[in-house]
């Protein structure tokens, strides 16, 4: 599908509107940016092609994780954690945050865990390497597993991403942010080589700053600006087992790094299960099937049962879904002023939800004359892909 066709909408006689910032996309990144921008006094207009959060922001497991394989992702998680722990105070809704911690497990990749543990310790993340006997002692339910080594981080867990989206939407609207849904972006406006707004099916929206937070469609928006950013969407799937699976709530989020399958408790005996299962394939965001794959569902239940020895391969599925991890070829996001007046915040490879609070602050900082320099984002520039790239993040699951 061509870009023009993809973003085409009905022509409109609406007169143009002006704000300080226009944001393309009302997913979690766009909403977090709107929140931070409104708090520093910017007038904000969000343009959303559907409804807030219905793209990829709610097609996740709600994970909040400090245990990453890159220093920058750990830092972004650390700087966002306080928002999740105190979300209700700021957004007037309980996100149902549950602390599980994360336990990475391996039979074959002990050196990878040793490297990750050293990085986490250097970043002052509370974690510890565990032997097979220690794993069995702490969690007797795992005593039948074959894992030889584990890396446990007791911080992090999961929340209800739907309630997070509602909290952000209600708050930004009450802060004066204008939210226009069901509106297609047709093009970008430019004056004297500076992007100064968008042309949409509802008219033109002029702004000093335009934020590309379009998730899996951010590459298409970048194309409209004449930028070539190698954004890649990867399909992922998740399922929730029924309560009969009898998964204990006291176990951490389990990640088998060898078989690439993971599982966490979901309350009342339920479990959430997912994993790439060794496959990491690019998917066209305009053509992917949002329904759960029956073949994958059978395979992931079998793999989870083999890895963790808690659930049964035939455990009944309560519900399941697929989504996209909009990412890049090095699994790290793009956050920069890509062109004068045009900021990109996209390609988070599954970390968008957990990092949204600090990303919103970083985006707001980019629009300020006096910058706070919250995080060094030099390595996240869109120009990095002109050089030989390497995988910077290795712990996505």
Q: Each residue of 124-140: pLDDT tens digit?
A: 999 999 999 999 999 99
Q: How many CB atoms lie within 10 A of CB 170?
A: 13
H helix runs in the chain, sequence order? 3-6, 28-39, 71-85, 87-91, 110-122, 132-138, 161-174, 218-224, 294-308, 352-366
Q: How confident is the model over 311-339, as a mean pLDDT?
A: 94
CA atoms 42, 45, 51, 53: torsion sign: negative
Is 50 exceeded by the pLDDT of residue 2? no
Q: Which two tokens stand for residue 288?
A: 């992917």
Q: Each residue of 231-240: pLDDT tens digit?
A: 999 999 999 9
The pLDDT of residue 390 = 58
Q: Is residue 260 a contact partner of residue 237, using CB atoms and an 8 Å limit?
A: no
Q: How confident is the model over 34-46, as a mean pLDDT?
A: 98
Tokens 């890049």 locate to 328
- DSSP 3-state assignment of 140? helix
Q: Is residue 232 a contact partner of residue 391, using CB atoms and an 8 Å limit?
A: no
Domains in the chain with CATH codes: 3-58+162-229+330-386 (3.50.50.60), 98-156+232-328 (3.30.9.10)
Q: How confident is the model over 86-109, as a mean pLDDT?
A: 97
Rounded to an integer, what distance in angstroms lies between the CA atom of residue 142 and that of residue 145?
Answer: 6
Is 60 exceeded by the pLDDT of residue 163? yes
The pLDDT of residue 15 = 56
What's the pTM? Answer: 0.93
Q: Each residue of 330-348: pLDDT tens digit?
A: 899 999 999 999 999 999 9
Q: Each residue of 358-378: pLDDT tens digit?
A: 999 999 999 999 989 899 999
Query: Average pLDDT over the chain, rounded to whole?
Result: 92
Q: How confident is the model over 49-61, as a mean pLDDT?
A: 93
């Amino acid at each position: 599908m061509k870009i023009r066709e993809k973003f085409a909408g009905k022509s409109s006689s609406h007169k143009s509107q002006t704000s300080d910032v226009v944001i393309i996309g009302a997913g979690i990144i766009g909403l977090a940016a709107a929140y931070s921008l409104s708090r520093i006094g910017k007038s904000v207009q969000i343009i959303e092609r559907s409804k807030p959060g219905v793209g990829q922001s709610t097609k996740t497991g709600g994970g909040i994780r400090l245990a990453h394989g890159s220093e920058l992702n750990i830092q972004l998680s650390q700087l966002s954690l306080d928002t999740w722990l105190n979300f209700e105070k700021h957004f007037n809704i309980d996100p149902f945050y549950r602390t599980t911690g994360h336990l990475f497990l391996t039979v074959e990749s002990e050196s990878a865990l040793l490297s990750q543990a050293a990085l986490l310790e250097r970043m002052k993340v509370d974690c510890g390497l565990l032997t097979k006997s220690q794993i069995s002692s702490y969690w007797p339910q795992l005593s039948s597993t074959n894992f030889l080594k584990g890396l446990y981080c007791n911080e992090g867990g999961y929340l209800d991403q739907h309630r997070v989206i509602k909290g952000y939407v209600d708050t930004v609207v009450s802060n004066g942010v204008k939210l226009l849904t069901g509106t297609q972006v047709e093009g970008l406006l430019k004056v004297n080589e500076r992007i100064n707004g968008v042309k949409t099916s509802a008219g033109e929206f002029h702004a000093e700053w335009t934020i590309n937070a379009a998730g899996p469609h951010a590459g298409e928006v970048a194309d409209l600006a004449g930028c070539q950013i190698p954004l890649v969407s990867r399909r992922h799937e998740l399922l929730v087992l029924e309560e009969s699976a009898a998964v204990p709530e006291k176990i951490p989020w389990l990640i088998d790094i060898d078989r690439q399958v993971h599982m966490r408790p979901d309350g009342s005996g339920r479990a959430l299960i997912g994993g790439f299962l060794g496959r990491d394939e690019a998917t066209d965001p305009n053509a992917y099937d949002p329904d759960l794959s029956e073949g994958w569902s059978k395979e992931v239940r079998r793999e989870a049962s083999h890895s963790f020895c808690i659930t049964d391969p035939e455990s009944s599925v309560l519900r399941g879904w697929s989504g996209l991890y909009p990412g890049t070829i090095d699994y790290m996001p793009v956050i920069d002023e890509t062109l004068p007046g045009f900021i990109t915040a996209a390609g988070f490879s599954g970390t968008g939800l957990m990092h949204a609070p600090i990303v919103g602050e970083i985006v707001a900082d980019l629009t300020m004359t006096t910058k706070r320099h919250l995080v060094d984002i030099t390595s996240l520039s869109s120009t990095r892909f002109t050089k030989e790239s390497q995988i910077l993040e290795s712990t996505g699951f």
